[in-house]
Amino acid sequence: MTDHRLQNSVRQRHSLHPEDIVTLVIDGQQLTADPNDTLLTIAQAHNIHIPTLCFLEGISAYGGCRVCLVEVEGYGKLVPACLTHPAEGIIVRTQSPRVIEYRKKIVELLLSERNHICSVCVTNGHCELQQLASTLGITHIRYPGLFPSLAIDASNTRFIHDPNRCVLCSRCVRVCAEIEGAHTWDIIHRGIKSRVSADLNQPWKEAVTCTGCGKCVQACPTGALSEQGKAVGEMLKKRYTESTT
C-alpha cells in the first residue's frame, strides 16, 4: 500500500492548534475544520449529504466512481470530495445544478455498463446503486445498455460473484487487502474490459489466499457479491449502519 493511501485510511485525530484549523464554506454554511480531513467527512459531520459509491469508511479512498464530485470556487476542475482536503477559505458547492447533472449522467453510465436489472437481483431494495439512482431521480437511462455477457462464479460454497452486477468500485478489493490483509481480489484487464477477479484469475473456490471471511460480500454496494442461497431481494449487507442514501 502506498503512503498516501495509508494516510487516507488512518486519519489522525489530535487536539488542534487554532492555526491548524481552516475555515471554509460548504453549501452556504460557514464551517471550521481540520485540514487533514476530507471535504466528504467534513460535510458528513455537518449533516451535508454528498452521495458516494466507491467510498467506504474504514478503507482508503479511491476516487473512481466520481459520484462525490463537488464544485470548489476558483478550482478549474471538479474535485472528488472523498479525496480533497480543505484549503483555507474555499467555497464548496455540493448541490449545484452542474454537479447534480453530472452525477446523474455518471450513474446512468454505470447502469448502462452492465446488467443492472433490479427486479431479478438478490439485493433489490437494499442496493446502494439502486438507492443512489433513486435519490438522484433517475427514471430512465439515456445511454444504450452495453450488456456484456459475463460468467457468474458460484464455485465458492458460501458466496457468489456475479460480475454482471459489478460497478468496479473496488470496495471488495480494498477491504480484502486493507482490513483482512488477504488481497484475494483485484481488478484485471483495463477499461471497459475491467473485471474483479480472485487471485490470478482463478475460480473463487480455488483462490488459496481467500480466508472466507466474507468482508467483500458485505462491503459490496450491489448484488455483485452475495451469499449463496439468497432469492431476489433477500441479500441484506451487514454493516454498522444502513447504507447511505
For residue 188, count other CB atoms closer than 10 A to its CB. Answer: 13
Beta carbons of 45 and 238 less than 8 angstroms apart: no
Cα–Cα distance for residue pair 162/204, rounded to 1 Å: 11
State yes or no: residue 183 binds another protein (CB under 8 A): no
State yes or no: residue 102 binds another protein (CB under 8 A): yes
Cα–Cα distance for residue pair 194/187, rounded to 1 Å: 6
Considering the complex, what minimum distance in angstroms separates the CB of residue 106 from another protein? 5
**Nearest CB to another protein, comparing residues 89 and 143:** 143
Joined together, the cell numbers standing for residue 209 give 489466499
Binding another protein by CB under 8 A: which of 16, 117, 120, 146?
Answer: 146
Report the chain's terminal Cα–Cα distance, integer Å.
Answer: 30
State yes or no: residue 144 binds another protein (CB under 8 A): yes
Please state the length of the chain: 245
State yes or no: residue 56 binds another protein (CB under 8 A): no
Binding another protein by CB under 8 A: which of 66, 93, 205, 230?
Answer: 66
State yes or no: residue 109 binds another protein (CB under 8 A): yes
Joined together, the cell numbers standing for residue 68 give 462525490
Residues in contact with another protein by the rule CB under 8 A: 2-4, 62-66, 69, 77-80, 83-84, 102, 105-106, 109-110, 112-113, 142-144, 146, 167-168, 186-187, 189-194
